[in-house]
Amino acid sequence: MITVQKLNYFGADVSSGLRRCSGMADFYLEMVTKVLDDTPRFDELEQAVKEGRLHEAFEIAHSLKGVYANLSLEPVLAPISRITEMLRREEPGDYDTLIQEIREKHAELCALARED
């Protein structure tokens, strides 16, 4: 089960996320729970990058960045922000490593939901 305390320990900026949710902790936690199902979006991002569809990959990454920024889930947001900016400029780089980091941080977030 996701809690405010677990999210703080994870490194989320919970106070900022709560402000964006009008201070309603239940609503904030509900929104955080919704991103636990984002794995298909990461798959889409990875596939677009592999196929060289960098503009499409940018659109996916930019959308993910908005969601994670609004929830202030900083550990996942940081690599999403980096890949978004690389894709914006269509820079060559190690996209695979960033996608792996996104997946790892997201997995850590998902693990919080499974803890008692």
What confidence tens digit (pLDDT) does each residue in 32-74 have? 999 999 999 999 999 999 999 999 999 999 999 999 999 999 9
Please give the model's pTM, rounded to 2 decimal places: 0.94
Confidence check: pLDDT of 112 > 80: yes
Q: Please give the sequence-ordered ranges of beta strands (E in DSSP) within 25-94, or none if there are none.
A: none
Percent of the chain with pLDDT over 70: 100
Distance CA 51, CA 28 (A): 35
Distance CA 87, CA 71 (A): 22
Q: Which of 100, 108, 104 is nearest to 9 (CA)?
A: 108
Fold type of domain 4-114 = Four Helix Bundle (Hemerythrin (Met), subunit A) (1.20.120)
- Give how far Cα 54 sits from Cα of 37, 49, 65, Å: 23, 6, 16
